[in-house]
Structure 1
Amino acid sequence: MKYQSKRKALILLEDGTIFYGKSVGDREGTAFGEVCFNTGMTGYQEIFTDPSYYGQLMVATNAHIGNYGTKIAENESGGVKIAGLIVKNFSYTYSRPDADHSLEEFLEANNLFAISDVDTRALVSYIRDNGAMNAVISTRVNDLEGLRKELKEVPNMEGLELASSVSTKEPYFEGDPDAAIKIAALDIGIKKNILRNLAKRGAYIQVFPHDTSYETMEAWNPDGYFISNGPGDPQPLEAAIAAARKIIAADKPLFGICLGHQVIALANGVSTFKMHHGHRGINHPVKNLVTGKGEITSQNHGFAVNREEAEGNADLEVTHLHLNDGTVAGLRMKNKPVFSVQYHPEASPGPHDAEYLFDQFFELINAEVGKDAVV
């Protein structure tokens, strides 16, 4: 191990509960955010760089983190998006031959504070029982009163708009400019692997900032629209919801993932709510109600769609359900080329059971393009 000694550190939850650990490396640091946990055995780099995790302190339930290092090509965005990291055993050395850096070097380059030697089993059990809440991780173990005061100033995730913090500031393009299909993607926290999945199926994508209007995107004359994943509460995303309503009214093909799924629900008058502790991991069971088949999925969300309202909406059909708690995992509109899922069909990390959803999106687009050609 690189360091012979590590600084004492703690996790202070907003309800006053304290867990102890040590800093990763000989570093002083403090980080605030909503504490949550991910149950994935692999894929820590993709998790840390997923914009959907912006503003969250990530607890890794896997006992060993860092053992295969990091590789720049596996980033899901331009850099680390989590607010801080909490682990049991941190691996300072790594064994993967084609890794670019150790996880320690990666975190230092991204200025991320992390703590290890935490009883993560006890911490995760506590979150499961008491719900996700704001917390602070810090080496200021002798300044509890100061940390408590600062923690009280951290805004609650409910009602918090975070898409603007992770969205692109300017439009950009992805894919082959000569591709037959053009897709306008509204970036409210998009992952790179979503764009790769769209591009490899023959799409040229223009990615737009989070508050782009339908009229601005439509001026590019796309064949279909996509609304991405992202962090925070969907309800404050008024511009994205308004754009979704206009896309729907114009009968354009529309696909939404995660936060985009929630935006589409809100555009249809269906409310969303903050979950007790959310779904985060790569082994979540979902049932496709259309085919009757089960899927193992990658999920990352702390908000969900109101099932009773969705099932009572004459324009919507619930297509997928999460088998652990019966929450809505997929929707489609009955008379519009519009559908969405709460989970991540692009995975990264995770299983590929749900990649067919990208194919369904292209089938929708091709059907609408063919319909326009006939007319």
Structure 2
Amino acid sequence: MRIITASIGTLIIYTSLAAFIGWNVYLWLHSLFPGLNPWIFAMLWLLWAFSYLVGRLGHQWLLFSVIGAYWFAFFEYGVLLLPLADIASLFVPSEQPALIVGSVMAGVFLLIFMAGSFLAYNPVVRELEITVDAPEAEPLHIVLASDFHLGVLSGKNHLQRFVKKSNSLNPDIVLLAGDLVDDDPIWYGRYGMADVMAQLKANIGVYGILGNHDYYGKKIPLLVQLMEKSGVHILRDETILVENRFYLTGREDRTFRNRPLLETLKPKDSLPWIVMDHTPPRLDAPTQLGVDLQVSGHTHKGQMWPNRFITKKVFELDYGHRQIGKSHFLVSSGFGFWGPPIRIGSRSELWSIKMKFKEQT
């Protein structure tokens, strides 16, 4: 009963906010086109507001998933900016404040979408050098990326950008830290992304783990099969010894409720230990167990400002590098995006990690 009540309450609040944004947009459009029919506008507006849900009905409604993704960005910044626009309109010395303020806000939204699209589709390479307390050995060069959300909007061309940038770095190993596809792996196979991923080169190999969105599609066997065919070895709560140089652990995401404790996956000897865990966990257990490097994703660094204020509250480490004792932690903002292909206050990225080994006293 409480769940139903909460759902109804959320729906009422969401619909009210969508109506508030729609009313503001209507006033602006009506100032430009006085003959605009309010009922037709209202129906089209509600369709946009709920288009993402329509898109979830099946693959034949793909277009609604796309326009629904862009709605999320418009909705967030509409809630943030339009109340300020309404206040500003009270001080505009004009008989048509809706025309003036609305036109200014349209320009602001256009800039947000243009800048956000650039930051989403133009990834950068972040560099990190760390020294691990271990007997001196050959350095290890890692390329890390997460949160591809491969599908319709984060598609073949965007994956090609990753492969090109990663291959240019000539890494020893590539780690893909979860949310490889956007729920359903069908687009990964249908749009030829498997062939692009297969072009990824690494001297030791390419390893990946599953994220929460990989589970949402409920097609894990198909996803693992497609990734293995692409040359990506998926680790599912297992620890492997890589070339007698280091141990690599790949964790199931928290979505998998029966995943074992990390301590059950701890190696038996003292070779360097790297852990992939999609959702950033608390840092105390890996530190106590002696993990040398743990990499994660999931947070997107909030993806769109000011969402990072939330991720910083939720996660002990929501982005970047931190060292605690002898353990290093790194959380990436991701190479792709969820929902709208928009990033504000974050940027699509991959990490080039140079891991050195030196015994410390």
Structure with greater helix percent:
2
Greater RCO (CA < 8 Å, at least 6 residues apart): 2
TM-score (structure 2 length as normaliser): 0.32
TM-score (structure 1 length as normaliser): 0.31
